[in-house]
Amino acid sequence: CASVRDKPILRGLDLTVRSGEVHAIMGPNGAGKSTLSHVLMGKAGYEITAGSVTLDGVDLLALAPHERAHAGLFLAMQYPTEVPGVSIEELLTEALVASGKGATGVRSRLEVEAARIEFDTRFLDRALNVDFSGGEKKRNETLQLAVLAPKFAILDELDSGLDVDALRLCSRRVEAATQETGLGVIAITHYKRLLDELRPDYVHVLAKGVIQATGGPELAEELERTGYAQ
């Protein structure tokens, strides 16, 4: 359970995500989807009023955001931040060193991963997200995810701003990570098109701060036809 400025947003949300699983969370605006991503990653301004969050037995709520990242949690942001003066390579080098993974060969890893999602390598030396298009920012988020190789990733509307080709490439890269490294995924989305490539094991409907229904990919298809009203 979580509140923002004393207003309850999450009202008893229970979820277990295992390694290699993809859980899609869909729901109307104001349902609490982005609040869930912010609470899990530790954004300031959110009050946890009940419950717990653990990652492999580690109490995430006791950790600062950077410590949650070191524990293996990654957030692909809905609106990626621009960071003038810091390149993608510099950012990921520092992140890898800070997490104890080491940054040997980071440039070659970046180039390999950029090629997998057809992300122009000239962006690797530019300031993070500065003057990037919406699609370029989302490819950049996917690139960071691939290089950092976390245990679990929260994708907050990864499909927002992506054209069809970029969506296919980014979705397939995340899908591949579930197979290659056992990545567990919480994919927050409004649209079924993301799930055509990033195949969910479970689809959850979040509304009024509670998971109202859970099913397989067919639930996303039903929502596409009927909407959320019922």
Q: How far is CA 75 from CA 47, 141, 150, 201, in A?
A: 19, 9, 10, 20
- Report the candidate in 148, 173, 152, 142 with the shortest Cα–Cα distance to residue 23: 152
> Quick one: pLDDT band at residue 177, thresholds 50, 70, 90?
very high
Per residue in 46-70, pLDDT tens?
999 999 999 999 999 999 999 999 9
Per residue in 98-121, pLDDT tens?
998 888 999 999 999 999 999 999
pLDDT at residue 229 greater than cutoff 80: no
Question: CB under 8 Å to 119, separation ≥6 — which residues?
Answer: 113, 136, 139, 140, 142, 143
pLDDT at 29: 87
pLDDT at 102: 86
Per residue in 142-172, pLDDT tens?
999 999 999 999 999 998 888 888 999 999 9
Which residue shows structure tokens 């990242």?
A: 69
**Which tokens hold the place of 54?**
């653990």
Per residue in 180-191, pLDDT tens?
999 999 999 988
pLDDT at 191: 83
**Which tokens hold the place of 186?**
């919480």
